[in-house]
Chains A and B, each alone.
Chain A
């Protein structure tokens, strides 16, 4: 491989993994923007999404197969299902705590994370599960770039989901209400906005996107397991902070940036992949020292 080919390949690798980070980061950012909560359970929502997708795809397989059609239907169904799970968690665990001190709700989020994580651990006995699909992995070249159909479709799907979310936030009444609540919840309530309903919608959308990322990861990597959310959760949260937490386009950009940093971090001469994370996070510390509010954050902060 020439240097140029390696560059192109790593660029694409970084974009793909970065778009997964971005999809998960959006959920952290939305929830933080609207109720100022670091939703620890979000990483486990991602994991639950992957398992929901695996189970639903298993049911659908005899009827519509487990190729793209089956995967898309399973993706949509599990997005709805996991979105509702997110709403239920919000209703049971977070809503009663909205007026409580911030730390209490943070600990509640941690508890929800533990419950989800351990439930799946018990159900799977801690084992890796194969995520079997009917997709083939024939590769072809676009210029010097080696590509598979799966990767191309997943990257496009991830970007499309982000675009749809952006339109939802900027072009609909619900999106406008979300942005308003992020600015000032009490005033919104006085103006007659149903704050609880909007918070529930926020959780639905954030969880559904995380579930989508989970299933896409399952399809792409071929295995799922109960702690698959842990590391990506940390990375996505980092991405949300880089982008400026509470700002949706920032989360997307932060995810892509982090993905690219990691991909190129593997390739630094004489250092090698074992130092990749050191490289990535040193860069991030430097970045945050000079730009503490993140890529798109502003000091006076209009959140979201």
Chain B
């Protein structure tokens, strides 16, 4: 009897380990010390390691994996064209899970692997604490998506944001609402750094334009029931509702607003601009507007990128794929201009970037290392797909 019990425990332990190993091995990209395969070995002088920091698990995994794919595609193309300064690029992915504590762990992992530079950054809240880490380690960080204005204040000088920041997005939202004849709005967020930032920016600009915010609500991450918040919004009866956070909860909010009979304008911020929002919102997603980053589907310069993406990955490129692709190319461009893999030199070259032609448009930086123009567009959900509304 005793032996039998022991056997049970042994089986359980083995099963647990199997799970653990499977879990770890699943998502991580090519290991650092992997030697280049086959004939590539002779062509390159050596290897240079880039870090990719995005959420590839957790609630925002959809966009995170999409961004990782875009960076990997860029790396693949660059390597095929001879690499950077004669070196082959290899990558290591740090999974930030859209969680600040996981993000610092992911950043520490990348730093300990001695990456030359990092691209990524999706959730502003998770990205925020990593800026100082990369800065202290002397590693340039090109952010492909995260764009809360709070990131600007925390930037030690080593971070470069190629997505327009929250205030540019709020300006676009205000402009579009005014065009629709909206006067009263409700703002809803999930308490995350990015969503609160966009909400505050929108509120400030909306009120400065002489309109009123009649309701400000917050939903809890992880909850499914928004009925109480929806009733609260309905009782304030705004002309429009602006959701400033991410798609998982955004879809729930849209469904519950529409099912409760809300007939006004619904708009979502760029955190909800992935196709998944419309998939999850189902019929209720029709006519929903979105202030979005430059989505590759609508960019003439991005057609070859889309083809390359479709060949390599079993999905459509999402909202930030184009930006992430540009971030990777921009980094390589800066390294070539710097002529070395020294962090300081790369940083200076990045800061001096002017008119770099990315597929999402020209990239140049302000003295705060943010994009020197607004790149937001307005999308609308039609037939279950995002379409350009302008």
Identify the A interface with B (CB < 8 A).
Answer: 1, 5-6, 9-10, 13-14, 16-17, 20, 92, 96, 111, 115, 118-119, 121-122, 125-128, 130, 132, 137, 139, 146, 148, 217, 221-223, 225, 227-228, 230-232, 262-263, 265-267, 272-274, 276-277
Option from B218, B237, B260, B281 in Cβ contact (under 8 Å) with A273: B218
Closest 5 CB pairs of A and B: A274-B218, A13-B227, A266-B228, A126-B61, A231-B222
User: Are B58's CB and A126's CB within 8 A?
Assistant: yes
Q: Does B371 contact A (CB under 8 A)?
A: no
Apart from A16-B227, A126-B57, list 19 A-B contacts with CB within 8 A: A17-B227, A96-B5, A111-B16, A118-B23, A126-B59, A128-B248, A130-B279, A217-B224, A222-B280, A223-B248, A228-B222, A228-B224, A262-B228, A263-B227, A263-B231, A266-B217, A266-B229, A273-B229, A274-B191
> What is the CA–CA distance of A262 and B224 in the complex, to the nearest angstrom?
13
Residues of A within 8 A of B227 (CB): 13, 16-17, 263
What are 25 residue pairs bridging A and B, where the CB atoms are less than 8 Å apart in the complex? A1-B237, A13-B227, A17-B225, A20-B225, A115-B19, A125-B65, A126-B58, A127-B276, A128-B247, A128-B248, A128-B251, A128-B276, A130-B280, A137-B259, A137-B284, A221-B255, A221-B256, A223-B224, A223-B248, A223-B251, A225-B248, A266-B228, A273-B219, A274-B216, A277-B220
Question: Are A227 and B219 neighbours in the complex by a CB distance under 8 Å?
Answer: no
B residues 56-72 touching A (CB-CB < 8 Å)? 57-59, 61-62, 65
Inter-chain contact A222/B222, CB cutoff 8 Å: no
Whole-angstrom distance from the CB of A298 to the nearest CB of chain B?
32
Q: Which residues of B contact A137 (CB under 8 A)?
A: 258-259, 284
* Residues of B close to A132: CB separation below 8 A: 282
Q: Please name all residues of chain A whose beta carbon is closer than 8 Å to the beta carbon of B59 when the two chains form the complex.
A: 126, 128, 225, 227
B69 to chain A, nearest CB (A): 13
* A276–B223 CB distance below 8 A: no
The interface residues of chain B lying within 8 Å CB-to-CB of A10 are 228, 231
CB distance B255 to A266 under 8 Å? no
Within the complex, the shortest CB–CB distance from B331 to chain A, in Å, comes to: 27
Determine how close the nearest CB of chain A comes to the CB of B290; give it in whole angstroms: 17
Establish whether residues B228 and A118, one from each chain, have CB atoms under 8 Å apart when the complex forms.
Answer: no
Known: A222-B280, A272-B217. A267 touches B231 (CB 8 A): yes
Q: Which residues of chain A have C-beta atoms less than 8 A from B252's C-beta?
A: 221-223
Q: Within 8 Å CB of A272, what residues of B?
A: 216-218, 232
In Å, the complex CA distance between A176 and B231 comes to 43
Q: Is B235 an interface residue (CB 8 A)?
A: yes
Q: Which residue of B lies closest to A265 (CB)?
A: B228
Chain B residues positioned under 8 Å from A225 (CB to CB): 59, 248
A280 to B22, CA, bound (A): 41
Per the 8 Å Cβ criterion, residues 194-227 of B in contact with A are 216-220, 222-225, 227
Total interface residues in chain B, CB < 8 Å? 48
Q: Given A96-B8, A127-B276, are A222 and B255 neighbors across the interface (CB < 8 Å)?
A: yes
> Which B residue's beta carbon lies closest to that of A218?
B224
The interface bits of chain B over 29-61 (1 if a CB of A lies within 8 angstroms of the residue's CB, else 0) are 000000000000000000000000000011101
Q: Does B153 contact A (CB under 8 A)?
A: no
Tell me whether B367 is interfacial, beta carbon within 8 Å. Answer: no
Supposing A13-B228, A222-B282 touch, asked if A227 and B234 sit within 8 A by C-beta, the answer is no
Q: Is the CB of B222 within 8 A of A122?
A: no
The smallest beta-carbon distance between B288 and chain A, in angstroms, is 14
Instruction: Establish whether residues B280 and A267, one from each chain, have CB atoms under 8 Å apart when the complex forms.
Output: no
Shortest Cβ gap from A271 to chain B (Å)? 11
Q: Which residues of B contact A13 (CB under 8 A)?
A: 225, 227-228, 231
Q: Are B224 and A127 in contact (CB under 8 A)?
A: no
* CB contact under 8 A between A227 and B282, given known A1-B237, A6-B231, A221-B255: no
Which chain B residue has the least Cβ–Cβ distance from A228? B224
Q: Assess whether B261 is interfacial by the CB under 8 Å rule.
A: yes
A230:B222 contact, CB within 8 angstroms: yes
Please give me the residue from chain B that is nearest to A277 by CB atom: B220
Measured in the bound complex, the distance between the Cα atoms of B228 and A276 in whole Å is 10
Residue B311, interface by CB 8 Å: no
- How far is A111 from B65 in the complex, measured between Cα atoms in Å? 28
Taking the complex as formed, is B136 at the interface, i.e. its CB lies under 8 A from any CB of chain A? Answer: no
Q: Smallest CB–CB gap between A89 and chain B, Å?
A: 12
* Interface assignment of B26: CB less than 8 Å from any CB of chain A: yes
Complex: how many Å from CA A137 to CA B254? 13
Is B12 at the interface (CB under 8 A from chain A)?
yes
B224 nearest in chain A by CB position: A221
B33 to chain A, nearest CB (A): 26
- Report the minimal beta-carbon distance from A272 to chain B, rounded to whole angstroms: 6
CB proximity to A under 8 Å, residues B255-280: 255-256, 258-261, 276, 279-280
